[in-house]
Amino acid sequence: MTPEEILSFTNEALAFFGPDAEILAANGAFREIFARVDAFLAPGTSWALFLAEAVRQDVLSSDSARKLSILEEGLTDPSAVLRELDLETSLGILRFSLKATSDDGFALRVTRDAVGISEEERELEHLMTKVLEACPTCLTMARIGDGQILYRSPEATALLGKGFNSREHFALRDERADFITELLPNSRVDDMRITARRVDGTPFPASISARLIEYRGEDVIVSSIVDLTDELEMRAELDRQRQQVFRSEKMSALGEVLAGVAHELNNPLSIVAGNAQLLSEDGVEGPARKRVDRLAEAAERCVSIVRAFLSMARDRPLHIERIRPVELLETARDAFEATEKTALEVTIDGAADLPELLIDEVQIVQVLTNLMINAEQAMEGRPDARIDLVAGVSSRVGFLQLLVSDNGPGIPPDVAPRVFDPLFTTKDAGKGTGIGLALCHRILVAHGGAIELDQDQRDGAKFIIELPAAEDIVR
């Protein structure tokens, strides 16, 4: 007996499909309902083709065909209960019942007993569909047991793709387990943070809210997922700005203290410096001469540091001059070598035809010597220690770039974000106060320039300084 003969013994409209969703057999009652697409009921025709043709011939609405297709995708377990849907067809509302078969195919029964949907109810269903389709949220409805998706809004399809299982929406399996665990006792979850998976497979931060409801005798999760990527980026940016404000507030509080100290030091220091100067002019000879010179030098240095503190605290107007970049680097190197008496090698590199800088030379030399002193302190005792000073053009139009790099131990990632903080130091008391880089930052900002640490630098530390040039650089 052929399958068709067996099927002919019943008045119910029945069709069987094979493992590749191809038609195996359809009985007379089934053919009668789908008379318009009879040619597509021959054994071997694919289910997808049959549905497409039924839509084309207006036997099924495209919405009905889509629902049927989603329902069919979810059939896996032959022992599961019959899955039913009442759908709009050219013959009115019909009930479609589907069931997986043991040979990986499925059976479809179509009956007219989808009784009782009134005109109002149909109108309501139509309205609901319209609302959901237009709803700009990422909404899904899925069975809790196997994760099979029953409904998905267009927004959800755009964000999460067309997968058939809601498990795919979670990038981390543990997070889905936590989600279900939280959902079960109260049938609800609000704003839970998860890592979701985008349509292209990439993970993204998201917030999920859900309700557990009963739908056609099954537990179903209705959930909405919100993409938090933009919001988190905005929050990170705000945090960064807040930190900057905090840093400059700390800086100005520090500035006031320094202003007081510097002010008090200013007078006694000028006496020391002035007298040292007088002594050396008096023509002291012998070993005392050397001491007097060193005294005068040190006193001068103290005076210039105090002056720098004062200028930092008081926002003293800058004495802007035009300086050739390479000359500036040479002056800074001389100042560094004169005060530090070091064997460390300092190289200078930069084209002679670079435009001039518009800067307060005294202050920028102080920035550069600060950086060199830091490098020297970091490399103490290294035989091959060196500092490279490089002048060049910047990617910022109208600016030049000065690079200060060393081949020391570099700055560890956990220290890097804090080096410009006033009073931040990793050095022992007496060796460092943590003012150097904060002051550099302050001076550069006053110039309309910038200083930053090159985070990509592997060997040693590298600081990038941007300063205004005297003319626009044509690049």
Ligand X SMILES: Nc1ncnc2c1ncn2[C@@H]1O[C@H](COP(=O)(O)OP(=O)(O)OP(=O)(O)O)[C@@H](O)[C@H]1O
Q: Please choose which of ligand X, Mg ion, none residue 62 contacts, taking the beta carbon within 5 to 8 angstroms, the exact cut-off set by kind.
A: none
Of these, 87, 108, 437, 467, which contacts ligand X (CB under 6 A)?
Answer: 437
Output 325 or 436, the one with its CB closest to Mg ion.
436
Nearer to Mg ion, 242 or 427 (CB): 427
Q: Of the candidates 426, 445, 455, 459, which one interacts with ligand X according to CB under 6 A?
A: 426
CA-CA-CA-CA torsion sign (151, 154, 159, 161): positive
- Neighbouring residues of 191: CB distance < 8 A, sequence distance ≥ 6: 207, 208, 209
408 binds Mg ion (CB under 5 A): no
Applying CB under 6 A, among 137, 229, 433, 455 the residue interacting with ligand X is 433
Give the orientation angle of helix 229-281 with respect to helix 287-314, to 10 degrees: 140
Work out whether 427 is an interface residue with ligand X (CB under 6 A): yes
Integer-rounded Cα radius of gyration of the chain: 39
Min CB(379)–ligand X separation in Å: 8
One character per residue 413-452, x = contact with Mg ion (rule: CB under 5 A): -----------------------x----------------
CB of residue 437 to Mg ion, shortest distance in Å: 6
Q: Which stretch binds ligand X (CB under 6 A): 35-43, 255-263, 394-402, 411-419?
A: 411-419
Q: Select the residue whose beta carbon is closest to Mg ion and give its number.
A: 436
Cβ 410 to ligand X, closest distance in Å?
6
255: contact with ligand X by CB under 6 A: no
Binding mask 368-387 for ligand X (x = CB under 6 A): ------xx--x---------
Q: Is residue 59 a contact point for ligand X (CB under 6 A)?
A: no
With left for phi above 0 and alpha for psi between -120 and 50, is residue 283 left, alpha or beta?
A: left
Minimal distance in Å, beta carbon 321 to Mg ion?
25
Of 37 and 451, the one with the shorter C-beta distance to ligand X is: 451
> Segment contacting ligand X (CB under 6 A): 12-20, 109-117, 204-212, 406-414?
406-414
- Which stretch in 264-272, 308-316, 319-327, 420-428 sits in contact with ligand X by CB under 6 A? 420-428
- CA atoms of 272 and 267, how far apart (whole Å): 9
Q: Which is nearer to ligand X, 112 or 427 (CB)?
A: 427
With CB under 6 A, what is the number of residues at the site for ligand X?
A: 20
Is 374 an interacting residue with respect to Mg ion (CB under 5 A)? yes
Q: Which is nearer to ligand X, 357 or 453 (CB)?
A: 453
Quote the least distance from Cβ 173 to ligand X, whole Å: 42
Among 424, 465, 467, 469, binds ligand X (CB under 6 A): 424
- Of 13 and 306, CB closest to Mg ion: 306
Residue number with CB closer to ligand X (105 or 436): 436
Residue 424 Cβ vs Mg ion, minimum distance, rounded to whole Å: 10
d(CA 84, CA 110): 10
- Amino acid 178 reads D
Q: State the residue number with the nearest CB to ligand X.
A: 436
The correct pick among 434, 454, 470, 473 for binding ligand X (CB under 6 A) is 434
What residue ranges bind Mg ion (CB under 5 A)? 374, 436
Interacting residue ranges for ligand X, rule: CB under 6 A = 374-375, 378, 406, 408, 411, 415, 419, 424-427, 432-438, 461
